[in-house]
Amino acid sequence: MQRGPVSGERSLVERFRSAFRGMRRAVASEKNFRIHFLVAGAVLVAAAVLGAEPWQWAVLSLSIATVLVAEIFNTAIERLAKAVTDQHNEHVRDALDIASAAVLAAALMSSVVGALILGWRLGIFLGLWPN
């Protein structure tokens, strides 16, 4: 297998090009990433409609980023596992399960954060409690 130059020999532009290629591959090849991306868009629209405050935007954005980054790492680990072996291996299986658990934990906690912030904003929007 032919390899390109090590990262120290590549220009900054080439490194960014590789990073954006990785992002495109994650979006194009992973259904779960697209689902997370769609949900993130819905959360951002809801935050805009409900008039989220700057600190709430920051917390929601960090929560969304955490889920997307976890999904990207999970995808990278899945790809690496496929490259290493196509045979059943308990260690590879465990690594894949643990990486998936990281995505699940990030998604669950982000859901709690989103529900608290957007629920509070919805209550204000509906006049259930004061701003």
Catalytic residues: 71
User: Residue 74 class from Cβ within 10 Å (0-12 exposed, 13-18 middle, 19+ buried)?
Assistant: buried
Q: CA nearest 103: which of 43, 50, 16, 35?
A: 35
Question: Is 63:96 a contact under the CB 8 Å cutoff?
Answer: no
Contacts of 92 by beta carbon, 8 Å cutoff, 6+ apart: 81, 84, 85
As a whole number of angstroms, the distance between CA 26 and CA 89 comes to 24
What does the buried/exposed string (b/e) look like for 112-122 if buried means 16 or more CB atoms within 10 Å of the residue's CB? Answer: ebbeebbebbe
